Structure 1
Amino acid sequence: MSTAPRSSLGRVLDDLGLTLLEVAHGTTDAARDIGGVVIHDPVDDPLFPQHAIVLGVGVADSEQLAALLRELAGRDVAAVVVRSPVDVTEEVREAAGDVVVLGLARGATWTQLAALLRSLLAEDDFGEISVETLGGLPSGDLFAVANAIAALLDAPVTIEDRSTRVLAFSGRQDEADPSRAETILGRQVPERYARVLTELGVFRDLYRDDRPVVVDPVTLGEGVTTQRVAIGVRAGDEVLGSIWAAMDGPLTAERTATLRDAAKLVALHLLRVRAGADVQRRLRAELVSTALEGGAGAREALARLGLAGQSVGVLAAAPTAAPDGSQRADQQLLADRERFTDALAAHLSAVQPGAAVALVGDTAFAILPAAGPDAEVRLVGVAENFLERVGARMPGVIAVGPPAEDIAGIAQSRAVALRVLRVLRDGPGSRAARMTEVQTASLLLELRDLVLARGDAPDGALARLIDYDRRNDGHLVDTLRAWLDHFGDVGAAAAATYVHHNTFRYRLRRVREVGGLDLSDAETRFAAMLQLRMLGG
């Protein structure tokens, strides 16, 4: 188990070494603090926190590595990561100085490494890391917990949530089989193994009581050679996740007792993580809400969000339906909105650094940098890309407000985004848009609100058509709407209403007779179209 400070190079190598990272050159100072993670970009000059780990994406040979190391000289960089195998030449050694060169294992992605590093470093936007402990381990530090359990069981361990997503893992994962390495790299149990475990009833048994479950590696198929022993993690009746150990041999009474004690400890840490996440979520929601309102505390809120002094845009987003199309209880609706918000936050953190995302009421808001003349168009593209990625699993709509240069502008951008969002929610059409694209529809919705607020009822010709349809089932309103929508094309309008064109012509004649409408008059047509829109047509 690692005893190095949480944000240290030693801690990184303890938890990610062998599985993801190897030391290619340099002497490791285990206690050296890590200030953050920087992705190297040859066409940009990012800000370097003190003692940063630099990810050398695209650095393909020793010459490029030496050039990168020379470029980083004087930046107080702790380590540079490049893709393995690393060709450490004399030129690389001279350029490195005291910078440690690490190799990223083949098969691992830079996205995975960046996510794991940020998880380990636990960079907290809202204060210092708590020194509170649970069971003698830092509160909420699941990686430390996994290492402790691994030491007690003498086997590599993963801690997973109910969706088989890997929350933390211990060292010594190289001692397990290829399937475990695949699970760690993907931070998720591969679907083919999860399906087999479900068919065998392993998850049912795991979550039914507090006894460990033994899984024969033969039943899982290719890539699994080590026996798995798992136990559910629960708080009362609620199942929080599970612990999985890769170890052969019988499930002795001692191992069973160790796993049961470990499950109780992991439950405490998972609850602490959840509580901490809830606190941060509430704090971020308060900051985002305050910034959007444009009141007295907006300037300070923007500063705490890291967005002060920038041109920013506002996104307003919401899921449109349950993924399975079913009706949701209030609690499930909230969970759906939170998942949608978290997914949007994760997406924006990758494509739009600096974005602040929070669920405020039933709407997910994002405040993000929006510089440049085409910023609004670019933000629409970002929103469309996110919705394409989540697809039918998490359908939603996203409205884009105009860029804002000051506090008042942010409040105005929020108001515009909400107007656009209402249009997107109101009916089929674009899933992401800005006001320019939906302005007419927005004005019609506002006019409809005015009509409803005043209690105005349809009158004149439209009222006569509605009354005739109610008494005779004449479909005259639908006929008029179809004719107007298709610019007087009888054939297209008849097809849209699923009637023969002669029947449609008869009904259109009745529209003129019953309603007293002169459809050759432009003003009459416009008034009829507007009134029909007010009906919600």
Structure 2
Amino acid sequence: MSQDQDDIFEPYSDNLELLAEKISDVLGRPVTIEDANHRLVAYSSHEPETDAARLATIVGRRVPDQIIGSLWRDGVMPRLLESEAPIRVAPIQEVGLSGRVATAIRLGSRVVGFIWVLEAERPFSEREMALFAKAAQAARTKMAQWQLQRHKEEEAHRDFFWQLLTGHLSNETLIRDKAQRIGITLPPQFHVVVLQFAAEVKESWQRQALEKCAPLSAYSRIVLHAINKNQLILLFAPITADTKDGVASQLGLLQQNLRTYFSPHFLGLASGCLYSEYGRLEDSYREALLLLEVKQRFPKETGDLVIYSDLGYYRYLPRIWEELQRHGRAGSQLARLRAYDQEHHSELVHTLEVFLAHDSNAKTAAEALHVHANTLNYRLKRIAEIGRIDLTSMEQKVTLYLELKAERFGGSNAL
């Protein structure tokens, strides 16, 4: 092994390929260097002890999603992100990962990459561990420069994402051709997730939010992301063919974690449906936006929802609201009740809304209104008379319930 000098790796710090070879030469083991998103940056020449996980990373130019997921599930990634010193990684046979030693490349407090060295049958000595730590220090500056070079590529990716989000690029063939040209591998399935903040998204918030999303790497990965004022927009792709319930469960946990971490700046998240045709990415985005709007209007009823397909009848409220505005509400049943309330300072509309919300159960509705059952029965009689409403008709009750909800969605001041 080469002599142990403080600057043993510094002469190679300007070229990450040469640095990988030097680390391999000094430690006598295969080496890979990755960026913070697990994209392959450099690797040493193959040796007989190279394992399947390393070969897959080299061929795909990125650590396979299944391996990243296993590293998170086994607690390797949290340890690696927290540790200032190299750590040992136990074998994970199901993904072809043999024993390794790994270290994070840090620029100040920020992790900009990772170095992985196969340990195989020859455990690292303390001296080798110290040399490995020096190698990570030598890689810092060049990794920062490499990230700057990636910046232009990321801008092209963001532009592509916005073309999909806004529907300016909707032809499936053109989408896939462009993705290939700019180096994006489109997964079989995707869904758009929008994180809503109380103020314009700062760069630090974006970085922290993406870090909070990292544990989901065991189930899905973020393909693209963009910022629009108060929103961080993410393109998620399930690693395996997942069910809607599986996606909703993971996003529900993420929403709880983000609320805890960013409180009070984080307002919630929403996901559109899963699709396989990228010409429908705009649909998934619009579904996520509508879910966020509904959650804002009905926080008690829908605040914990995270996926559009769980929205139920609330998804139809925008169209009902448009219909009410287009044809007006003068002379309607609710209009008559409101006119009476305004003239007599009563609460017939509110009473009706609570009654319907409690499935026409007079007992629970009276308790919710904090009135005697006889008082509620009198109000219901007046509602039927003044509004000309048949409270035994399911059709009339459903219509009234949806109109009341649509007016709340539209922000009607009459409520």
Q: TM-score, normalised by structure 2?
A: 0.63
Q: How does 1:249-328 map to 2 (within 5 A)?
A: 283-292=156-165, 293=167, 294-295=169-170, 298-299=175-176, 302-303=179-180, 307-319=184-196, 321=198
Counterpart Cα distance in 1 of 2:141 and 2:237: 24
2:190 match: secondary structure: strand
Determine the structure 2 residue equivalent to 1:379. Answer: 247
Cα distance change of structure 1 residues 52 and 341 upon mapping to structure 2, 3 Å threshold: closer
Determine the structure 2 residue equivalent to 1:450. Answer: 323
Q: How does 1:82-481 map to 2 (within 5 A)?
A: 91-92=121-122, 103=129, 121-122=143-144, 128=149, 283-292=156-165, 293=167, 294-295=169-170, 298-299=175-176, 302-303=179-180, 307-319=184-196, 321=198, 333-335=199-201, 339-350=204-215, 351=217, 352-360=220-228, 362-370=230-238, 372-392=240-260, 393=262, 394-428=265-299, 429-452=302-325, 454=326, 456-481=328-353
Counterpart Cα distance in 1 of 2:244 and 2:352: 38
Judging by fraction of residues, say which structure has more helix: 2
Cα distance change of structure 1 residues 520 and 3 upon mapping to structure 2, 3 Å threshold: same
Deviations 1:105-129 (A, max 9, x none): 9xx9xxxx99x9899634857x847
Cα distance change of structure 1 residues 81 and 450 upon mapping to structure 2, 3 Å threshold: farther
Deviations 1:77-112 (A, max 9, x none): x85177xxxxx9xx528xx9xxx995499xx9xxxx
Counterpart Cα distance in 2 of 1:459 and 1:3: 85
Match of 2:357 among 438, 461, 485: 485
Determine the structure 1 residue equivalent to 2:26. Answer: 27
Counterpart Cα distance in 1 of 2:153 and 2:334: 54
Does residue 49 of the first structure (1) align with residue 58 of the second (2)? yes
AA aligned opposite 1:121: M
1:420 is displaced (CA, Å) by 3.0
Contact 1:376 1:401 in 2 (8 A): no
1:366 match: secondary structure: strand
Contact 2:90 2:98 in 1 (8 A): no
Contact 2:191 2:237 in 1 (8 A): no
Determine the structure 1 residue equivalent to 2:34. Answer: 36
1:367 is displaced (CA, Å) by 1.6
1:3 is displaced (CA, Å) by 5.2
1:490 is displaced (CA, Å) by 2.0
2:390 match: secondary structure: coil
Number of corresponding residues: 331
Runs of 5+ consecutive residues of structure 2 not aligned to the other structure: 1-6, 40-50, 77-87, 92-96, 101-114, 409-414
Contact 1:288 1:301 in 2 (8 A): no
Cα distance change of structure 1 residues 306 and 455 upon mapping to structure 2, 3 Å threshold: farther
AA aligned opposite 1:385: L
Contact 1:383 1:432 in 2 (8 A): no
Contact 1:314 1:410 in 2 (8 A): yes
1:305 is displaced (CA, Å) by 6.7
AA aligned opposite 1:287: F
1:471 is displaced (CA, Å) by 1.1
Q: TM-score, normalised by structure 1?
A: 0.50
Q: How does 1:5-24 map to 2 (within 5 A)?
A: 5-6=13-14, 8=16
AA aligned opposite 1:346: E
Runs of 5+ consecutive residues of structure 1 not aligned to the other structure: 15-22, 62-66, 71-77, 83-87, 130-275, 322-332
Deviations 1:62-82 (A, max 9, x none): xxxxx9379xxxxxxx85177
Counterpart Cα distance in 2 of 1:358 and 1:103: 39
Match of 1:533 among 405, 409, 415: 405
Contact 2:31 2:117 in 1 (8 A): no
Determine the structure 1 residue equivalent to 2:46. Answer: none
Counterpart Cα distance in 1 of 2:331 and 2:146: 61
Counterpart Cα distance in 1 of 2:328 and 2:130: 68
Deviations 1:421-478 (A, max 9, x none): 33233321244432321131011222213323x1622533211110011111110101
